């Protein structure tokens, strides 16, 4: 049985007469990395603030490790780490000094734990340097080190890869995957970088206009589609459009067609009759971005 770490049930938030969230419900289990995505103004940041107790809940419930955040805030929040927007760092101090300051806020964080976290985020060689000399990726990793010092089992991150170069994103992806798998953390990531989430998350929650429109495994979300494209790899696509008029040419070796599985033998027969050599046939793999735009109508992402 999966261990549920975070559970949101029918969360509603109202500002004056405006309803911001409407019955938002989803959960995250131990070891999950959940991508929390939605168009501009969908309610992602508001939901995160309600989870962390930074705003009051109009109605509904947030439970973390079995504790209701409204009824027992201290117990609910004690195993939560979070970075909302940018991590708070003292630039004129070293990375180590920043971690020591955070360690002093908690009981029982000794030198061994600090060194363990430094190793986890791979800052061993630079931890004594001033943060002002760190790259953006290093600062993000130091921020995560701060957030996990007290051994949380839930990590909430808002745009953790924002502004990172490809190398920084790769390092962040490896770090978060390690935390989920080796440390058994449940991780929620709100991000506009859908390509990065595609490589990172095992689950996705899509929110639009304050309502959850889908929560599922990322593979299931990407498989659901209005179109069923099949990709053909052939020797040459020059004459394909004359043979199969509704095909779309991808490149000189590949074309795709929106078709049903039952129609594939007929298409193969047609190609063979026209002396087209076929090397492979496979369903098109949809990206998270494509799936997102289908669900939300192509809205701009925050």
Tokens representing residue 273 in the block: 């009759």
Q: By C-alpha distance, which of 181, 198, 163, 149 is closest to 35? A: 198
pTM, 2 dp: 0.80
CA gap 43, 13 in Å, rounded: 9
225: confidence class by pLDDT, cuts 50, 70, 90: low
CB neighbours of residue 110 within 10 Å:
9
| Residues 64-85, mean pLDDT to the nearest whole number | 92
- The predicted-structure confidence for 173-184, as pLDDT tens digits, reads as follows 888 999 998 888
What's the residue count for the chain? Answer: 302
CATH number, domain 4-223, options 3.40.50.620, 1.10.260.30, 3.40.47.10, 3.40.50.300 = 3.40.50.300
| Residues 265-291, mean pLDDT to the nearest whole number | 86
Provide CB contacts within 8 A for 119, sequence distance 6+: none
Residue spans per domain, the chain: 4-223, 229-285
């Amino acid at each position: 049985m999966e261990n549920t770490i975070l559970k949101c049930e029918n969360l509603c938030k109202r500002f004056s007469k405006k309803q911001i969230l409407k019955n938002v419900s989803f959960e995250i289990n131990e070891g999950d990395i959940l991508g929390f995505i939605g168009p501009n103004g969908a309610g992602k940041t508001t939901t995160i603030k309600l989870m962390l107790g930074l705003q009051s809940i109009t109605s509904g419930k947030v439970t973390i490790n079995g504790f209701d955040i409204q009824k027992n805030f201290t117990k609910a929040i004690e195993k939560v780490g979070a970075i909302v927007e940018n991590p708070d760092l003292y630039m004129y101090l070293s990375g180590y000094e920043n971690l020591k300051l955070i360690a002093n806020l908690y009981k029982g964080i000794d030198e061994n734990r600090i060194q363990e976290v430094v190793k986890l985020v791979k800052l061993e060689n630079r931890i004594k340097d001033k943060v002002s000399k760190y790259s953006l990726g290093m600062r993000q990793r130091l921020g995560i080190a701060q957030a996990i010092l007290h051994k949380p089992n839930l990590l909430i991150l808002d745009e953790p890869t924002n502004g990172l170069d490809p190398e920084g994103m790769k390092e962040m992806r490896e770090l978060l995957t390690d935390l989920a798998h080796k440390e058994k953390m449940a991780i929620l990531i709100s991000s506009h970088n859908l390509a990065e989430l595609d490589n990172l998350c095992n689950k996705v929650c899509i929110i639009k206009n304050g309502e959850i429109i889908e929560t599922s495994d990322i593979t299931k979300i990407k498989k659901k589609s209005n179109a069923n494209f099949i990709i053909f790899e052939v020797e040459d696509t020059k004459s394909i459009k004359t043979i199969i008029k509704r095909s779309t040419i991808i490149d000189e070796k590949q074309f795709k067609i929106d078709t049903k599985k039952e129609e594939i033998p007929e298409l193969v027969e047609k190609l063979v009759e026209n002396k087209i050599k076929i090397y492979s046939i496979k369903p098109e793999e949809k990206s998270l971005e494509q799936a997102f735009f289908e669900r939300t109508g192509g809205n701009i992402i925050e």
